[in-house]
Amino acid sequence: MSAISRRELLAKVGLAGLTAAVTPKAPAEETAHSENENRKTDRTQGSEPGEANYVFFNREEAQFIEAAVARLIPTDQHAGAIEAGVPNYLDKQLAGAWGAGERLYTSGPWEPTRPGLGYQLPLKPGELFHTAIKAINAELNKSGPAFWEMSPDQQDEYLHKLDAGGVDLNGVPSEVFFDQLLGMTIEGFFSDPVYGGNKHMVGWKMIGFPGAYATYFDLIDKHGIKFEREPVSLGQGHGHFIPDPNIPAESPHQ
């Protein structure tokens, strides 16, 4: 993990959100109008970093999540988890059907001590996050600074402690929570922007992934060229095919 100063972190995560919340936007009508326009033209974009509208996390949970994902995928010459809107991804996924355990088998029997059986807790993803983060914040509140007030090195140390396991987070083994948090952070960084993360497709641009092109039909007989198109998201509404410009798109019956 590359070093990131606390000042940078606060500027990106905390202060940006606070300032945005308390500073009146002027002129308000114009801002609202242009935001709507942006949404209309590009459905792949979420809110700005630090401006996530949380529906699942409460304030303290959000502060923990923002600080933690900023350490898991820190900002360097590429965008990090914060710029990619990973907290927004986590929030929207946990608030929705997936977070409520849709399609997740939760009827036991549970054998948490036997290895190789996968997830062995009766908690649904949303319950897992609420329980674990509440326990983390309560534990740190007893002994000193909150997670988001620590230095990046201290935060890394604490995350390593969770990862190593053996910490009981009110019934959730810390390594189970850490694995879920890391996994979802990676998902939020690389999955399609329609899910709330990978904002501006920063994750895809970083690795050169083209995204959800429906077809490369027009490129089949073009060899030896470098593919340099911008990635596309599922939300950009590309059709099944890129039509031949010589064939009119209108139906002949119209």
Partner 1 sequence: MPTVLKEVDVVFVGFGWGSSILAKELINTGLKMVGLERGFPRFTSPDFQSPEIHDELRFAVRKAMMQDTSVRRLPCVIL
What does the binding site for partner 1 look like in residue numbers (CB under 8 A)? Answer: 98, 101-106, 187, 191-192, 195, 211-215, 232, 234, 238, 240
Give the residue with the Cβ less far from partner 1, 36 or 106.
106
Q: Tell me the closest approach of the beta carbon of residue 137 to partner 1, in angstroms.
A: 28
CA distance 3 to 41: 36
How far is C-alpha 129 from the chain's CA centre? Answer: 14
Task: State the angle between helix axes of 86-95 and 125-143 in degrees (0 to 180), rounded to the nearest 10.
Answer: 120
Angle of CA points 29, 30, 34, to nearest 5°:
120
Q: Tell me the closest approach of the beta carbon of residue 214 to partner 1, in angstroms.
A: 4
Q: Tell me the closest approach of the beta carbon of residue 64 to partner 1, in angstroms.
A: 24
Give the residue with the Cβ less far from partner 1, 179 or 187.
187
Q: Tell me the closest approach of the beta carbon of residue 108 to partner 1, in angstroms.
A: 12
Q: Tell me the closest approach of the beta carbon of residue 159 to partner 1, in angstroms.
A: 23
The H-or-E segment that residue 173 falls in is: strand 172-173
Give the residue with the Cβ less far from partner 1, 17 or 197.
197
Give the residue with the Cβ less far from partner 1, 14 or 101.
101
169 forms beta bridges with: 172
Give the residue with the Cβ less far from partner 1, 76 or 216.
216
**The length of the chain, given as a count of residues:** 254
211: helix, coil or strand? Answer: strand
